[in-house]
Chains A and B, each alone.
Chain A
Amino acid sequence: MSALTYRRSRASFLDLSAGFSQAVGWFIVTVAVIFLVIGVIIDLATGGTSESIWENSAYATRYFPLSMGIMITAAYLPVAVASGVTRRSFGWAGAGVVIALSGLMALFEAGGYLIEYGLYRAVGETPEFTTPHLFDQGYQFWLIVPEVWIVVAANVAAGWLIGSAYYKWGWFGPTLALPLLLLPLLAVEAIMAVGWAGAALDAMNVEHLPTAAAVPAALAVLTLTLAGIHSFVRTIDLRPQKA
């Protein structure tokens, strides 16, 4: 990457980040309030089950970033190209956003698990998880962070791929091809054997890959997916404007 491409990619990354920051900020506050404050407090106050409430927030922290991923090309590629940024630089910026947004979600999730663990322990309980994870205790942030980071990154990347396909080809073809567009995401989740994919593998009695193999394999699929999207984005023409 040349110095100029780096500078333009960085500028585009900052533009995307600035655009997403407000929505992401509100999302984090909303999820924290709903699951951590209201959910855990009610659960502890009413002497409910010791099941982890925070674990349910994982769906929100996957699908919201996926929707952000859909917007990367649809909303920001025209702006970037019209501002003199090449698709190559924009592609690097988009990949940066996938990594940064999922990293943020990973830290957020890990923080939530840690706080929940502390609250449960304070009343003599231990949060229990209902779906498979790489971790089995809420304080194991060194396992929570990579798990959530990789899975959320796969979701954002899937959103970016879907959004790019809809931008390039319109609604009909990509709608038919949605299962294909979701394939990298499904592959990452299956390799990691966490969440619903892990539960489905358990139900089929399929043995999980050891963590030491699953993480590099999932990272490899993610890297290939991002490289593929980067190449794909470079072929996209800006659409004519609506009158």
Chain B
Amino acid sequence: MTLGIEIENLTVRYPGVTAIDDLTLKLEGGKIYGLLGRNGSGKTTLLSLIAAFRRVTEGAILVDGEAPFENERLTQQICLVRESGDIVVDGDSVKGILRRSRRFRPHWDDEFAHRLLDLFQLPLNRGVAKLSRGQKSALGITVGLASRAPLTMLDEAYLGMDAPSRYAFYDVLLEDYIENPRTIILSTHLIEEVARLFEEVVIIDRGRLVAHDDTESLRMRGAAVVGPAAAVDDFTTGMTVLGEQRLGGTKSVTVYGEIDPDARAVAADWGLELSPVALQDLFVHLTKGDRA
């Protein structure tokens, strides 16, 4: 079972700031989405509204065709794990968290949860307060994945984990997603690390939709041009340059904008190599502004 999401003209205002600004977006069920945005771009607010943590006041959010707020059928199918975890009460142990999840999550897989605890080396009987930040993140991930919620959203939930744990998480997420397809939304700043998981990417900035496309199409909006420095400079003249690197006589320039077949043929003649742009470079370009 997977759940699709439709967002129409969604606006959220906080005192002095518009967190979400007339956002319209449609996400089909059964895919892994990357939700990218700078700090304060509205990612967490958006996910909180989808998960019914907050009430929608302007516009609409429909999950599986219905508004999720106070919708018992839907809320039990939606799991949002935020960075520092909402599922913990002071004094809870890891075992207690698992007991709670077993009680509330209709698709909970206890065997999978214990496998994840072993993978992340989380002690079952330890109090959550005594866990390191990375271990708390791993616990959130464990609950998020083992809940097998048809709509699973992880909001920077793996930020505190060390690199080996993060890579183990990426592998296990993909493996479990293939066995148990569902809609997964990953909000992250570790773009290059997670990019391989994304089937589609949504980029928001200042509460507005900047881009929504499948990952490959998005990466084809630009190119990394690599070859002899002089040829690269000539080829990229007049293009929007996102970044450049030079090593001896070889230069790599990342450009934004579609490169038509004729230009690609010229590049091949000149001995230049064209490859899709890195998602992170694209993200930086699309969301750059003069704020801190």
Give B77-117 interface residues, CB cut-off 8 Å to A.
77-84, 86-91, 96, 99-101, 103-105
For the complex formed, measure the closest distance between the CB of B17 and the CB atoms of chain A, giving whole angstroms: 13
Q: With A234-B70, A237-B55 known to touch, is A83 a contact of B101 (CB < 8 Å)?
A: yes
Q: With A84-B149, A241-B82 known to touch, is A79 a contact of B100 (CB < 8 Å)?
A: yes
Contacts of B79 in A (CB 8 A): 84
**Judging by beta carbons under 8 Å apart, are B86 and A81 in contact?**
yes
**Judging by beta carbons under 8 Å apart, are B72 and A79 in contact?**
no
For the complex formed, measure the closest distance between the CB of B18 and the CB atoms of chain A, giving whole angstroms: 16
For the complex formed, measure the closest distance between the CB of A224 and the CB atoms of chain B, giving whole angstroms: 22
Contacts of B53 in A (CB 8 A): 81-82, 237-238
Nearest residue, chain A, Cβ from B70: A86
Q: How far is the CA of A86 from the CA of B71 in the complex (A)?
A: 7
**Judging by beta carbons under 8 Å apart, are A79 and B89 in contact?**
yes
Q: How far is the CA of A234 from the CA of B72 in the complex (A)?
A: 13
For the complex formed, measure the closest distance between the CB of A118 and the CB atoms of chain B, giving whole angstroms: 37
- Asked if B264 is at the interface (CB within 8 A of a chain A CB), the reply is no
**Judging by beta carbons under 8 Å apart, are A75 and B90 in contact?**
yes
- Asked if A88 is at the interface (CB within 8 A of a chain B CB), the reply is yes
For the complex formed, measure the closest distance between the CB of A163 and the CB atoms of chain B, giving whole angstroms: 13
Nearest residue, chain A, Cβ from B48: A238
Proximity bits, A54-93, B CB within 8 Å = 1, else 0: 0000000000000000000001101111111111110000
**Judging by beta carbons under 8 Å apart, are B70 and A84 in contact?**
no
Nearest residue, chain A, Cβ from B73: A4
- Asked if B188 is at the interface (CB within 8 A of a chain A CB), the reply is no
Contacts of B75 in A (CB 8 A): 81, 84-86
Q: How far is the CA of A11 from the CA of B72 in the complex (A)?
A: 13
Contacts of A80 in B (CB 8 A): 104
Q: How far is the CA of A78 from the CA of B75 in the complex (A)?
A: 13
Give A1-45 interface residues, CB cut-off 8 Å to B.
2, 4-5, 8, 11-12, 14-15, 18-19, 22
Nearest residue, chain B, Cβ from A19: B89
Q: Which of A5, A79, A83, A234 has the most CB of B within 10 A?
A: A83
**Judging by beta carbons under 8 Å apart, are A84 and B76 in contact?**
yes
- Asked if B126 is at the interface (CB within 8 A of a chain A CB), the reply is no
Q: How far is the CA of A2 from the CA of B86 in the complex (A)?
A: 27
Q: How far is the CA of A89 from the CA of B44 in the complex (A)?
A: 25
Q: Is the interface of A mostly helix, strand, loop or mixed?
A: helix
Q: How far is the CA of A15 from the CA of B103 in the complex (A)?
A: 8
Proximity bits, A73-115, B CB within 8 Å = 1, else 0: 0011011111111111100000000000000000000000000
Q: How far is the CA of A85 from the CA of B79 in the complex (A)?
A: 11
Nearest residue, chain B, Cβ from A76: B89
Contacts of B80 in A (CB 8 A): 82
Contacts of A75 in B (CB 8 A): 89-90
Q: With A11-B104, A83-B100, A84-B104 known to touch, is A241 a contact of B86 (CB < 8 Å)?
A: yes
Nearest residue, chain A, Cβ from B75: A84
Contacts of B44 in A (CB 8 A): 240
Contacts of A235 in B (CB 8 A): 55
**Judging by beta carbons under 8 Å apart, are A79 and B87 in contact?**
yes
Q: How far is the CA of A238 from the CA of B72 in the complex (A)?
A: 17
Nearest residue, chain A, Cβ from B102: A11
Nearest residue, chain A, Cβ from B103: A11
For the complex formed, measure the closest distance between the CB of B93 and the CB atoms of chain A, giving whole angstroms: 11
- Asked if B184 is at the interface (CB within 8 A of a chain A CB), the reply is no
**Judging by beta carbons under 8 Å apart, are A88 and B72 in contact?**
yes
**Judging by beta carbons under 8 Å apart, are B78 and A84 in contact?**
yes
**Judging by beta carbons under 8 Å apart, are A81 and B87 in contact?**
no
For the complex formed, measure the closest distance between the CB of B43 and the CB atoms of chain A, giving whole angstroms: 12
Give B150-180 interface residues, CB cut-off 8 Å to A.
none
For the complex formed, measure the closest distance between the CB of B152 and the CB atoms of chain A, giving whole angstroms: 11
Q: How far is the CA of A108 from the CA of B101 in the complex (A)?
A: 32
Q: How far is the CA of A88 from the CA of B71 in the complex (A)?
A: 9
For the complex formed, measure the closest distance between the CB of B46 and the CB atoms of chain A, giving whole angstroms: 13
Q: How far is the CA of A88 from the CA of B76 in the complex (A)?
A: 13
Q: How far is the CA of A229 from the CA of B89 in the complex (A)?
A: 22
Q: How far is the CA of A88 from the CA of B69 in the complex (A)?
A: 10
Q: With A15-B103, A85-B104, A241-B82 known to touch, is A8 a contact of B72 (CB < 8 Å)?
A: yes
Q: How far is the CA of A235 from the CA of B52 in the complex (A)?
A: 11
10 A-B contacts (beta carbon < 8 Å) = A2-B72, A8-B72, A8-B76, A11-B103, A14-B103, A18-B99, A75-B90, A237-B55, A241-B83, A241-B84
* Chain A residues near B (Cβ < 8 Å): 2, 4-5, 8, 11-12, 14-15, 18-19, 22, 75-76, 78-89, 234-235, 237-238, 240-243
User: Besides the contacts A82-B51, A240-B44, what 7 more A-B pairs have beta carbons closer than 8 Å?
Assistant: A5-B72, A76-B89, A83-B101, A84-B77, A85-B75, A238-B53, A241-B83
Give the 9 A-B residue pairs with the shortest CB-CB distance, closest first. A82-B86, A83-B104, A84-B76, A238-B53, A237-B54, A84-B75, A78-B86, A86-B70, A11-B103
* Chain B residues near A (Cβ < 8 Å): 44, 48, 51-55, 70-73, 75-84, 86-91, 96, 99-101, 103-105, 149
